[in-house]
Amino acid sequence: MGARELRGSFSRRAFAAEARRYVPSLRTEDLVRGPAGIRAQAQLAASHAARNATIAGFAGRLLSCSGEEEIARAACAQLRELFDCNAMLVSGLPQPKTIAAVPGDNLLTPSDLAAAALTIESGAGAGRGTSRLQPAEWVFYPVRSGQEVLAALGLARDDGTPPVEETQLPLLASLLDQVALALERARLEQEALEFAGLRERDRVRSTLLSSIRQELGPPVASIGRAARQIRRGPPADKALGSSLASDALKLERYISNLLELAPEAEQHPIEAGAVTIDLFQRAVSRDGRDVHLTPKEYALLAELAKHPGRVLTHDHLLRTVWGPAQERQAEYLRVAVRALRQKLERNPARPEIIVNEPAVGYRLVAP
């Protein structure tokens, strides 16, 4: 190497070393190439920054929405703006239903509906431009949450050209992940509201019916007995006794009708070995002795007792007892089952009342 080349090489490497002090992400080979390499890296960094900013803005817009329809409308509007095409979000099988569409007057042909159904069912893209269902005018992409396909996003241009270029597919995939997160959040929020409403309704009903049975039943029965005794007395009191007896009988029938509002399974105690579970009285005993359970332990046992002999999945039990947001916290369920076995089983190491079905869930063994 000549002196001039040696000085040039030394200068470039010195420049590279100095530049890396301020921009550590730049690669040495690009710095050695000089300004052209730096410009390429700068353009790539700017592209990544713009992509991340787009995803963050999209996620922020969805975060401000509540409910499936509002999320779907916002997502379609944003995607139409980003890709300059028509957008539609559909869900459901066997006939997908439109959740939102931008513009709102877009309609799907039978071929489009078949492509949407295929995407939801298989979890793979379908429609125009794909290897499946070419006659469709729209191309559909799956909106996934784990292994579950929540919906299908349809994109189409009026001129029939592909709505998303090959280089834009990674961006679209990231945006679809944000749509899935928003839809899953909306679903969990709705399930939590419904669960809270049902739990409060059941609590009020059980409390009311228990109160009626315990506080009104005995006094009404006493009134009825007193009325019958009055009827056996002097003739002057027989009319009063008959009237009281008639009114007491009406009250007894009224109370009986109210008690019938409770599900039959909750009116009669459930026997499981030496354990007795009274859902109506919210009481649990073993060999005739009361067993103290924590609220979560009782809720878990009650859910199993409502379906004796039936296997309830881990997800179902977690969702019912701890709420939809905790349905992946399997450790909560294991701890509660272990505590119940310690209190109810004769030999917790070999349970005979709460039985595990491997990889599925638990069931209460009852006649």
The H-or-E segment that residue 207 falls in is helix 169-211
The whole-angstrom separation of Cα 117 and Cα 3 is 71
Which structural domain range is residue 352 located in? Answer: 265-364
Using only C-alpha atoms, the chain has a radius of gyration, in whole angstroms, of 34
Task: Identify the DSSP state of 212.
Answer: I
Say yes or no: 52 and 92 in one domain: no
Say yes or no: 200 and 272 in one domain: no
Say yes or no: 78 and 173 in one domain: yes
Say yes or no: 142 and 238 in one domain: no
The whole-angstrom separation of Cα 286 and Cα 343 is 9
157, 190, 223: which is the final residue of a domain?
190
Per-residue CA distances from 235 to 226, 229, 238, 343 (Å): 16, 12, 5, 61
Say yes or no: 235 and 293 in one domain: no
Sign of the torsion angle spanned by Cα atoms 247, 249, 255, 258: negative
Task: Identify the DSSP state of 346.
Answer: S
Say yes or no: 185 and 294 in one domain: no
Burial of 36 (0-12, 13-18, 19+ CB in 10 A): exposed
Give the three-class secondary structure for 216: helix
Say yes or no: 250 and 346 in one domain: no
Beta bridge partners of 354: 364
Per-residue CA distances from 289 to 269, 277, 279, 327, 344 (Å): 14, 12, 16, 33, 11
Say yes or no: 79 and 159 in one domain: yes
Beta bridge partners of 60: none
* pLDDT at residue 316, rounded to an integer: 86
| Closest-CA residue to 321 (of 187, 165, 199) | 199
Angle of CA points 311, 147, 357, to nearest 5°: 20
Say yes or no: 127 and 149 in one domain: yes
* pLDDT at residue 7, rounded to an integer: 40
* pLDDT at residue 22, rounded to an integer: 47
190, 209, 236: which is the final residue of a domain?
190
The whole-angstrom separation of Cα 279 and Cα 266 is 5
Number of domains in the chain: 4
CATH code of 112's domain: 3.30.450.40
* pLDDT at residue 9, rounded to an integer: 43
The whole-angstrom separation of Cα 17 and Cα 11 is 10
The whole-angstrom separation of Cα 257 and Cα 243 is 21
Say yes or no: 109 and 168 in one domain: yes
At 164, list the tokens: 């998303």
Query: In this structure, which amino acid lies at residue 200?
Result: E
Give the three-class secondary structure for 39: helix
pLDDT by 10-residue block (mean), the chain, 367 residues: 42 50 51 56 65 85 89 94 93 89 89 92 88 82 87 92 90 92 86 73 70 70 74 68 73 67 62 86 88 91 88 87 79 92 92 89 85
207, 231, 264: which is the final residue of a domain?
264
At 27, list the tokens: 């690669």
Give the three-class secondary structure for 274: coil
Say yes or no: 104 and 27 in one domain: no
First to last CA, the chain: 94
The whole-angstrom separation of Cα 220 and Cα 222 is 5
Sign of the torsion angle spanned by Cα atoms 342, 344, 348, 354: negative
CATH code of 352's domain: 1.10.10.10
Burial of 62 (0-12, 13-18, 19+ CB in 10 A): buried
Task: Please answer whether residues 209 and 192 qualify as being in contact, where contact means their C-beta atoms are separated by less than 8 angstroms.
Answer: no
Q: 173-176 long-range contacts, Cβ below 8 Å, gap at least 24? A: 174/51, 174/55, 175/54, 175/55, 175/58, 175/75, 175/78, 175/79, 175/82, 176/141, 176/142, 176/143, 176/144
At 146, list the tokens: 């784990």
Say yes or no: 203 and 300 in one domain: no
**Within 13 Å of residue 29, how many CA atoms lie on the same side as its CB?**
0
The whole-angstrom separation of Cα 72 and Cα 69 is 5
